[in-house]
């Protein structure tokens, strides 16, 4: 498992010293490289407030897909954790399978739940069939990262790009400057087809029709999205990096522009410190009716035992509270979904951290990170990933329309025949 040394440190600090009579709960979350320090701080503060609850952290999931698959398998053997943190687009399947518990009963007993920062827009991200099943822990949006030293050496004097055409223009300027750097990397391989959805949502184009039985991205907006991706690969000579390589190379000063989630900002800031001037900018080419998919994850309660469920609820509520959300913002690049975090704990934070405010300014663009319905949801995600990979490798970079057509046919075959 990746990041084992970090995981071990978190696991050790996560255990409360508590007594033998303490209620023990198990928690599992994704992406140790982003959240290890976050959970370390949250658990330390939770322990002070709830000494009668022992929090045991399982080894983190490698990705949202990994987390979803693990819980589905563990549900068969009844070995799921008491709380799982799942990608916003991976909650649906756990609700449909009856694995995640409704939180309505716990919420009803909370006297000042809304005053504690749990507003409707936040809860909507984890609501299915009119009932809350997940509470958002962290929310992200795609943004642009710029190595300002590379831009300066290239002689770029214009404002930061607002469109993909301007990004391509800047690529060409960087390439001609003779610097030993890649011009850009656009996160096509980020989890859950997130950037494919971002291109489509930027044109207000949904993944499926309203019945959720027919592909909707095989239209002019979808063609624009796939053609834009192919242009970035071809005209910017975008390398075929995996996630770790892309982030590492940008942080080392070897890439001029990096289009990725705000979630990685703290990690990139720390790793690039002293190497170059980092500046963030808005995601390009979002038209007046368009938006961007909300990334991030939510906590879901899986515990069946009443005592463990009650203890798990206390931890879930603390982790997603104003204080918990503030810790998320302070230790990562994610935005806090809890209103109290911004109103009480982070009043001056964004003024002092303008790079983190970039995504906050994009909050009016928030759209759904779509989860494909039915038992083939994860397979559909892989079909789209494979199609895009055929372009980024250069194999089919000149055939974006054909790639889209074939991808559409494969996805259509995997969709449910009737609406859920």
244 and 387 belong to one structural domain: yes
46 and 132 belong to one structural domain: yes
Task: Give domain status of residue 177, yes or no.
Answer: yes
Q: What is the domain extent for residue 12?
A: 4-140+294-367
- pLDDT greater than 90 at residue 174: yes
281 and 155 belong to one structural domain: yes
Task: Give domain status of residue 17, yes or no.
Answer: yes
Query: Is there a contact between 283 and 202 (Cβ–Cβ < 8 Å)?
Result: yes
Q: How far is CA 268 from CA 263, 358, 404, in A?
A: 10, 15, 33
342 and 399 belong to one structural domain: no
Q: How far is CA 365 from CA 41, 282, 294, 361, 362, in A?
A: 31, 11, 9, 9, 6
Task: Give domain status of residue 234, yes or no.
Answer: yes
377 and 242 belong to one structural domain: yes
**What gap in Å lies between CA 404 and CA 402, rounded to an integer?**
5
Nearest CA among 154, 184, 192, 160 for reference residue 246: 184
126 and 172 belong to one structural domain: no
Q: How far is CA 17 from CA 41, 44, 359, in A?
A: 16, 11, 39
Query: Is there a contact between 376 and 92 (Cβ–Cβ < 8 Å)?
Result: no
Query: Is there a contact between 175 and 183 (Cβ–Cβ < 8 Å)?
Result: yes
Average pLDDT of the residues of the chain: 93
Of 1-15, 317-331, 353-367, highest mean pLDDT: 317-331
Task: Give domain status of residue 419, yes or no.
Answer: no
Task: Give domain status of residue 207, yes or no.
Answer: yes
Strand partners for 83: 27, 301
136 and 146 belong to one structural domain: no
For residues 113-143, b (16+ Cβ closer than 10 Å) or e, as one string? eeebbbeeebbebbbbeeebbbbbbbbbbbb
Predicted confidence at residue 63, as pLDDT, reads 93
165 and 188 belong to one structural domain: yes
- pLDDT single digits (tens) 256-312: 999 999 999 999 999 999 999 999 999 999 999 999 999 999 999 999 999 999 999
Task: Give domain status of residue 35, yes or no.
Answer: yes
- pLDDT single digits (tens) 61-112: 999 999 999 999 999 999 999 999 999 999 999 999 999 999 999 999 999 8
What mean pLDDT do residues 345-360 have? 92
**What gap in Å lies between CA 239 and CA 260, rounded to an integer?**
15
336 and 405 belong to one structural domain: no
Task: Give domain status of residue 420, yes or no.
Answer: no
Cα 226 to its chain centre, rounded Å, is: 21
304 and 159 belong to one structural domain: no
- pLDDT greater than 70 at residue 22: yes
**Count of the separate structural domains present in the chain:** 2
Predicted confidence at residue 15, as pLDDT, reads 43
Task: Give domain status of residue 189, yes or no.
Answer: yes
Strand partners for 27: 57, 83
236 and 300 belong to one structural domain: no
CATH code: domain of residue 45: 3.40.190.10
327 and 250 belong to one structural domain: no
């Amino acid at each position: 498992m990746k990041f084992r040394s970090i995981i071990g440190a978190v696991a050790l600090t996560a255990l409360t010293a508590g007594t033998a009579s303490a209620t023990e709960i198990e928690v599992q979350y994704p992406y140790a490289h982003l959240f290890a320090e976050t959970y370390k701080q949250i658990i330390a503060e939770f322990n002070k407030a709830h000494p009668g609850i022992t929090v045991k952290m399982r080894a983190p999931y490698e990705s949202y897909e990994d987390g979803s698959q693990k819980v589905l398998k563990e549900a068969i053997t009844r070995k799921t954790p008491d709380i799982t943190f799942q990608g916003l687009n991976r909650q649906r399947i756990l609700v449909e399978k009856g694995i995640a518990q409704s939180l309505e009963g716990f919420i009803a007993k909370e006297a000042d739940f809304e005053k504690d920062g749990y507003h409707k827009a936040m809860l909507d991200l984890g609501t299915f069939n009119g009932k809350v099943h997940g509470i958002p822990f962290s929310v992200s949006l795609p943004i642009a990262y710029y190595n300002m030293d590379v831009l300066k050496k290239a002689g770029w004097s214009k404002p930061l790009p607002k469109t993909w055409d301007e990004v391509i223009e800047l690529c060409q300027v960087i390439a001609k400057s003779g610097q030993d750097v890649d011009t850009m990397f656009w996160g096509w391989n980020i989890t859950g087809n997130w950037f494919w959805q971002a291109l489509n949502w930027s044109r207000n184009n949904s993944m499926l029709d309203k019945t959720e039985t027919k592909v909707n991205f095989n239209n002019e907006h979808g063609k624009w999205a796939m053609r834009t991706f192919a242009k970035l690969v071809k005209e910017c000579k975008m390398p075929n990096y995996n996630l770790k390589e892309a982030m590492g190379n940008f942080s080392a000063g070897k890439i001029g522009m990096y289009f990725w989630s705000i979630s990685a900002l703290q990690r990139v800031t720390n790793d690039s410190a002293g190497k170059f001037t980092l500046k963030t900018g808005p995601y390009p080419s979002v038209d007046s009716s368009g938006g961007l998919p909300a990334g991030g994850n939510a906590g879901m309660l899986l515990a069946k035992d009443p005592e463990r469920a009650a203890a798990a609820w206390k931890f879930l509520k603390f982790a997603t509270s104003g204080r918990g959300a503030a810790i998320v913002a302070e230790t990562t690049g994610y935005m806090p979904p809890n209103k109290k975090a911004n109103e009480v704990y982070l009043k001056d934070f964004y003024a002092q951290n303008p790079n983190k405010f970039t995504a906050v300014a994009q909050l009016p663009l928030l759209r759904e990170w779509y989860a494909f319905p039915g038992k083939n949801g994860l397979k559909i995600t892989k079909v789209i990933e494979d199609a895009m990979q055929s372009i980024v490798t250069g194999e089919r970079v000149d055939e974006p329309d054909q790639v889209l057509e074939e991808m559409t046919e494969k996805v259509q075959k995997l969709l449910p025949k009737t609406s859920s």
